[in-house]
Structure formats: C-alpha cells, structure tokens
Amino acid sequence: MPKGMFVDTTICIGCKACQVACKQWNVLPGEPADFRTDPAEKIPVAVNFTGDSYDNTADLTGTNWRRVRFIEQFPEHRAGGRWLISSDSCKHCGDAGCLNACPTGALVRTDLGNVVVRQDVCIGCKYCLPSCPFGVVAFSHQTGTARKCSLCDERIHNGLGTACAKACPTGSIAYGEVADLKKKADARLARLKELGHAKANIYGYREAGGLNVFYLFDDRPSVYGQPEQPVVPQGRLVLSSAVTVAGAIAVGVAALAAFRERGDGESRSEEVEK
Amino acid sequence: MSPEVHAPGWEWYYIGLYFFFGGVSAGAYFIGSLAEFFGGGRHRGISRTAFYVAFPTLLVTPPLLIGDLGQPLRFWHLLFDARSGFPYVNLSSPMSVGSWALVLYGAMALLSFLDNLVAEGVLDAAPFAKLYSRLPRKVYAAVGSAAGFFIAGYTGVLLNVTARPLWALTDPLVGALFIASAGSTGAAAIYLVMKWRRVHPGPELEEFERFDRIVKVLEIALAVAIVIAAGKHAGALFRGPYAVMFWGGAILLGTLVPLASNVYAHRPGRHVRSEPAAVLMACLVLFGGLLLRVSLVQAGQL
C-alpha cells in the first residue's frame, strides 16, 4: 500500500508554504544569496536571483527539495492570460532511475513505497544525478552526499502526512494512499473536463513505472518543466551492454587478425605451458 | 522551460583521467592476453610489456575514483553493504558491477605483473609459482582479457545509461568506442614501453601497426556515428573547448594523423618504418585517447 501525493496544480496559489514547511521539517538551510561584484556595477549584485517570475529556487537542489514553478502564459497584448503554478519535488517513481543506478545501496525504497537516500550510506559518487530523468536528485557540498525529498520518511512512518501537504492551504498537495489519491485525481480531472479544460491531464500514471507523487496539469507536461516521455535509463542497459560486447569482439578479432600465427615456420615457445 | 537532467559534476581530472588510465591499462592487458593466447608464445615480448604497462597504470586509478567522491572514506560501500558488511552488488548499476570488475581485473593484472617479475628473475619464484602454476596460463589469459575488455568498455555503458541528453542519445555506442580507443592507446603504451625497455619490436611492430589500422578505422566510424546520434545535442562537441579537444585532439591528432602515418609507412614497396615517427605517433594516440574521454565526459555535463 504505497503512500504518495497528488498535486492538483489547478488550485495552487503559489504561496510557497510547502517550500517553507519542507525546509523547516528537513532542517534544510537557505541557499546563500551569492553576491558578487560586477565590475560594471557600483554595488554588489546577487547572481542567484532567478529573475524568472516568482520562482526563487530555479532548480531542485541539495537544500531545495521542493520548488514552486510559475508559468506566465500571457499573450503580447496582456489580455486573457493565465498563471500556471506547480509545486514540484521528487516523484518517488515506481521504476526509479536513481535507485537502479546507486552502487552502494544508499538509495532504498521503504515499505511505504517512498525512495530515500540513506545519508550515512551514500558515498557521494553522484551517479544518481544524471540517472534521474526528472532532474530531482542533487549533490550537497555541505554533506558530500546526494540529497532529495524523502516523502518525509520519518513523518509518514509515524502516521503523519508530509510536511508540505500539511502546510498547503488550498489542498493542492494531498497526501495519502496512492490508490485513494488516484480516485480523487480522476474525479477532479472529470470535473475539469466538464468545465471545459480540454488540455487537463494527469501526469504520472504511466511515466517511469507509475509515479507515487503525481500531478494534475492544465497544459502539456513540458509547459510545467516535466519531460513528456521520461525514460528510465536502465531500460537501455541490456542493449548498451550487448553493443559494447560486440565492440569488444570486433577489437578482439582485429587483435587476432594482427597477431595470429601465420604458419611461417616459427616454433611455439615451450614456455607456454610451463 | 525544458526539463534539465542534473549533471553529476564529475571533474575531468578525476573521472576523465580514470577513464583514460583505466582504458590504457585494460587495453594493454587484453592485447597482451590475446597475443599470449593466440600468438603461441611468439609474442612474449608484447605480452610481457603489456603486463608491465597494465598494473602500474591501474594503480593510478583508485585515488582518482575515490578523490571524486563526496565522502571518500566511505569508498568501501561500493563493495560491501554498509550495514551488514556483506558483499554488495547492484546488477542494474554499471558503477556497482564495474567496481567488482575492477577488483577482479586488479587481481589479474597483479598476478600477471608478478609472473613477469618472476620470469625475469626480479622476484624469487618459489613461493609465488606454487600459487600461480595451479592453473594453466591460458586460463589467466582468458579471464584476464575478458576482465580487460570489461574495464575498457563499462565506462562507456556507464555514461550511456543515464538521462543526460548527449550521453543518452549516443547510447549504445560509447562503450564500443571506448574499447576501440583502449585498444589503440593500450597498443601505443605497449610500444612506447618496449622502446623504453629496448625490447626490439622487430616484426612485431608491423603486427602492431596492422592492429592499429583496423582499430582506428573502427574508432573513427564509431566517433562519427556518435556525433550523428547526438543530433541537436551534439552542440558541445561543435563549440567551445570540448569541440577543440574532440575534433582537434581525439579525432585529428589522436586518430587521423597516426592512421595516415601508419598507412603511409606501410604503402607498397616500403619496408622500413621511421622509429622517431612511430614514437611520436604513439604519443599522439595516447594524447588523443585522453582528450576523447575528457571531451565526452565533460561535454555531456554542460
């Protein structure tokens, strides 16, 4: 009975309470405002302000496990536009690329279906970073390990919901049994379709083996910064290995062709089977 | 707003160098093993030198691999479960399987290295030979060449089996390219060490160069296929420093020039290879092999 979250982006108001709750529960420090002196400017300028709408994280990082994305869809004449706002985090994939890639067993899936980086086991090899098709797992230079949302592992194993869902004032982030959440999502999608939201779709039923944290979007997933067709990279492992073996055979045959005995009368060394 | 898959942030001077040294070591080892296996003892000079190359170049690699870790002292978690202490392997992770392959390969490379020292009288044979001579040499050569090919190739699979666009799109070609490159850099390293140890290459040089011609053609074909496969994400291989490294270093200086020199030296009616030229070409091959790894590892992270 996996636990998860249903993120209904259509009722998100962009308050970032989830970001704050996540930081507080997980004791995550703020990203330092990186002020640098630009020779062209008289005063120091912060270089890590995103300048992208109200987005203040820009990315999921070792200290930002939740990110509220703001998508401003306004036409040139500024009339009839809309905001799309989506709170994003680790999706706790059914087939998790990070989990498949981890060489130490630091990444584990718990009995509640959430994927956790065990901080005392992780060696900081960083291989899980490029293995996540959603760009979730990040490296923390403070801890020297990979870090990401754990679905509030300690909370959910003690009967509490996730901190972000608890803090969400509109119910945009709902925590619960994945099966229950899916029923809720289907009902909400049907209602939106009734209301004429033709583009509304649920993201995460099929992607990456089914996402335990899934979304209701009102536009294509790529508009919300999510891959349309996320590919779990280890699905290619067998073919990739097979072609590499073929390469090895080709080089081996080249060596054989170059170094073989050509019956030119030279005797075998008696050393061979010493 | 396109989704951005995180780059691992591997440093070229750790991971790029590891890929290079691992490739040279493994390439030398599988050439040495195959020469021993199929050459019927005629190539003892090559295989001896190969095993002298393989182990020292492999010794460089653990510090490189451990140096890139965020928690270097926990490197042993790669092999043993941190909680139970039992051996641990994750078969879906090339890094996990590769760690064990490095242990196996390291043992083979060490055995062959010691065997060399015994054969040349540097070490006393008595205690070692008892251990070593239980199995026929051909068994070591077979296991060793398999392990060598694995070490040469898994690094490419490791890059390919990720979601970074350049590495993912070039799947499944990088492993084969790295094996071809390991073959040519391994052969170049063997040749240089033979010159240095004044083992006369003689007719073996010609066989070496024949091997090199085949492998280089394979290497160029794979490199071109990789650039085509990368499509619109090949940009980092066409602009900036990694473009210079890839095209100028790996392809032109590391492959095309040595191949041209090789073909020219063996044109019909000519039988003498200029040795300084051969040494220079071997250096270029090694340099190109280094830039190939660095450019593919770093361009994939841009």
Q: Any idea how long chain A is? A: 274
* Residues of A in Cβ contact (< 8 Å) with B3: 133-135, 222, 225-227
Backbone torsion region of residue A171, taken as left when φ is above 0, otherwise alpha when ψ lies between -120 and 50, otherwise beta: left
Strand partners, A68: A87
**A 143-172 → B contacts, CB under 8 A:** 143-146
A108 touches chain B (CB under 8 A): no
Q: Is residue B290 part of a domain?
A: no
Contact list, A273 vs chain B (CB under 8 Å): 136-138
- Please tell me which of the candidates B7, B95, B161 has its beta carbon nearest to residue A236: B161
Residue B275 contacts A where some CB pair is shorter than 8 Å:
no
A239 touches chain B (CB under 8 A): yes
pLDDT confidence of B271, banded at 50, 70, 90? low
Q: Which amino acid is at B95?
A: M
The residue among B19, B162, B214 with the most chain A CBs within 10 A of its CB, best to mutate, is: B162
- Pick the more confident residue, A211 or B302: A211
B55: which strand partners?
none
Query: What are the pLDDT digits (tens) for B189-207?
Result: 999 999 888 877 667 777 8
Q: Among A245, A257, A268, whose Cβ lies nearest the Cβ of B214?
A: A257
Whether B214 contacts chain A with CB within 8 A: yes
ipTM: 0.92
Considering its fold, how many domains does chain B have in total?
1
> Which pLDDT band holds residue B22 (cuts at 50, 70, 90)?
very high
Q: Tell me the CA distances in angstroms from A269 to B39, B137, B211, B277, one per residue in order.
A: 10, 13, 22, 32
Average pLDDT for residues A71-99, to the nearest whole number? 94
**pLDDT of A269 over the 60 cut:** no
Determine contact: A37 vs chain B, CB below 8 A: no
Q: How far apart are CA B52 and CA B110, in angstroms?
A: 10
Per-residue pLDDT, B137? 73
User: From its phi and psi, is residue B40 left (phi > 0), alpha (psi between -120 and 50) or beta?
Assistant: left
Share of chain B above pLDDT 70, in %: 93
Q: Tell whether A179 lies on the interface with B, counting CB pairs under 8 A.
A: no
Task: Determine whether the interchain pair B70/A131 forms a contact, defined as Cβ–Cβ distance below 8 Å.
Answer: no
A261 and B42 within 8 Å at the Cβ level: the answer is yes
Cβ(A87)–Cβ(A21) below 8 Å? no
Cβ proximity of A239 and B172 under 8 Å: yes
CB contact (8 A) between residue A129 and residue B68: no
- For residue A259, name the pLDDT band (cuts at 50, 70, 90): confident
- B252 pLDDT band, cuts 50/70/90, is very high
pLDDT value of position B197: 86
Distances (CA, A) of B226 to A195, B24, B151, B248, B258: 48, 21, 20, 16, 21
Answer whether residue B57 is part of any domain. yes
What is the rounded average pLDDT of the residues B222-231? 93
Inter-helix orientation angle B17-39/B275-299, to 10°: 130
- Taking CA atoms, A239 is separated from A101, A236, B40, in Å, by 16, 6, 35
CATH value at residue B103: 1.20.1630.10
- Integer Cα distance of A40 and B91 in angstroms: 53
Whole-angstrom Cα distance, residue A192 to residue A170?
17
pLDDT, greater one: B212 or B123: B212
Q: Compute the distance between CA of residue A78 and CA of residue B63 in angstroms, rounded to an integer.
A: 58
Instruction: Give the residue from B2, B10, B64, B71 with the most A CB atoms within 10 Å of its CB, the best one to mutate.
Output: B71
Residue B152 belongs to some domain of the structure: yes
pLDDT recorded at residue B78: 96
A258: which 2 tokens?
């170059």
Distance CA B201, CA A81 (A): 76
Please tell me the distance from the alpha carbon of residue A126 to that of residue B65, in angstroms, as a whole number: 12
Write the DSSP symbol of residue B60. T
Burial tier of A12 (Cβ tally within 10 Å: 0-12, 13-18, 19+): buried
Question: Cα separation of A151 and B128, whole Å?
Answer: 55
Kindly tell me the sign of the dihedral angle through the C-alpha atoms of A178, A183, A188, A194. positive
**What pLDDT is stored for residue B286 in this prediction?**
97
Tokens of B135: 């199995």
Q: What integer pLDDT is reported at residue A265 of this predicted model?
A: 37
Reported pTM: 0.91
Tell me how long chain B is: 302
What is the H or E stretch that residue B218 is in?
A: helix B203-230
Q: What is the domain extent for residue B60?
A: 12-218
Contacts A136 to B, Cβ<8 Å: 6
Contacts of B161 in chain A (CB under 8 A): 101, 131, 233-234, 236-237, 240
Looking at chain B from residue 2 to 21, which residues have their Cβ under 8 Å from any Cβ of chain A? Answer: 2-10
For B46, which residue in chain A has the nearest alpha carbon? A259
What is the topology classification, in CATH, of domain A3-229? Alpha-Beta Plaits (3.30.70)
Estimate the crossing angle of helix B203-230 against helix A237-259, to 10 degrees. 160
B222 touching A (Cβ < 8 Å): yes
Residues of A in contact with B153 (CB under 8 A): 244-245, 247-248
pLDDT at B126: 65
Convert the pLDDT of each residue in B71-104 to its tens digit: 999 999 999 999 999 999 999 999 999 999 999 9
Query: What residues of chain A lie within 8 A of the CB of B136, using their CB?
Result: 273
Q: Are B114 and B132 in contact (CB under 8 A)?
A: yes
Look at residue B224 in the predicted model and tell me its pLDDT.
Answer: 94
Separation in Å, CA B196 to CA B27, B33, B92, B193, B290: 19, 21, 42, 5, 21
Predicted confidence band at A20 (pLDDT cuts at 50, 70, 90)? very high
Task: Give the DSSP H/E element, type plus range, for residue A82.
Answer: strand A82-88
